[in-house]
Amino acid sequence: MNLASQIVGSLFIATRHLTLTPSQLVGDNSFNYFKMIKIGILGAAGYTGGELIRLLINHPQAEIVFANSESNAGNPVTDVHEGLYGDTDMCFTSDMPFDKVDVVFFCFGHGKSRQFLQEHDIPANVKIIDLAQDFRLAEPGNDYVYGLPEINRDKIAKANHVANPGCFATCIQLGLLPAAAMKLINDDVAVNAITGSTGAGQKPGATTHFSWRNNNLSIYKPFSHQHVPEIRQSLTQVQGSLDADIDFIPYRGDFARGIFATCVVKTDAQADEIIEGYKSFYKDAPFTHYVDKAIDLKQVVNTNKCLVHCDKFGNKLLITSCIDNLLKGAVGQAVQNMNIMFGIDETEGLRLKPTAF
């Protein structure tokens, strides 16, 4: 073995946690694996901001340059995100040095991202990942790629701007997309999905108060939820056309994290060919998996995974899917998109253990 091979082999062993091959270490990958991705976070004091900080401080190639929160500027991040005690001594800042970062995450409430961009200049070379709904729908002049890697991985890899999908939209789409790929969605789809209280954000409200939410269940925005257009957009993209309604009824659950969805599709297709289609559709997806037995929330909470299962009852296909609303439904998927945009292993920083029990 020559000296160069010995050096590459030693580097491969020393950096095996980066999941690189020796060829990547000598430079055939688009991103320099020894360079840190410099990151800015806007809206860092909310639930998504805190989850994002938690993921990024444990990401081997992430360096948080600033975590912006006007109302908490100067205060330690742990004053708000108490679960990070001992993990970081970072403080919130009012500064936004965009010239010092490679990518900015927008963790704003819906509608604020578009307004922020109208009021601030971000250098053209800085990538943006927006977790709000402002740019999720395709329209003239919108250059944001819809950040669902299971269908848009190649587009995300080339994108400068990514619109991260909504939490309900992610869970429901991942349940329905393989059916759309098989052109099975030709009648109205009945969808029910229940979400944890963190889906409502950090600001206290009447329907998030513990005394109301605990041991309780309710619906909201039946047939009018803002994520339905996202779902239709992706199903149309995959199936080619969509002449069916998505009849979605969202539920508020009395738990903190997770989304569990059921979708009913009418089809005469055989169960075995449907299941084979689902497995084939997700064979290259590192976080979305078809499971042969019934699924539950504890299998995915605290992870970036989506699990999907199908059952056939006559001409009705019952599809169940579940995710963690803050991870695969928000910042986990955002970090996955960042990894893809910078050409590194998309699972980097996201190998997370489920609660399980």
Structure tokens at 117: 């961009």
332 touches 324 (CB < 8 A): yes
SS3 annotation, the chain: CCHHHHHHHHHHHHCHHHCCCHHHHCCCCCCCCCCCEEEEEECCCCHHHHHHHHHHCCCCCEEEEEEECHHHCCCEHHHCCHHHCCCCCCECECCCCHHHCCEEEECCCCCHHHHHHHHCCCCCCCEEEECCCCCCCCCCCCCCEECCHHHHHHHHHHCCEEECCCHHHHHHHHHHHHHHHCCCCCCCEEEEEEECHHHHCCCCCCCCCHHHHCCCCEECCCCCCCCHHHHHHHHHHHHCCCCCCEEEEEEECCCCCCEEEEEEEECCCCHHHHHHHHHHHCCCCCCEEECCCCCCHHHCCCCCCEEEEEEEECCEEEEEEEECCCHHHHHHHHHHHHHHHCCCCCCCCCCCCCCCC
Tell me the C-alpha distance between 137 and 227, whole Å. 10
Q: How far, CA to CA in Å, does 74 sit from each of 31, 62, 69, 355?
A: 33, 22, 9, 33
Strand partners, 39: 64, 103
Catalytic residue among 91, 107, 167, 263: 167
Strand partners, 317: 265, 312
Tell me the C-alpha distance between 269 and 275, whole Å. 10
Q: Indicate if 263 belongs to the active site.
A: no
Residue of 235, 148, 221 lying closest to 189 (CA atoms): 235
The catalytic residues are: 167
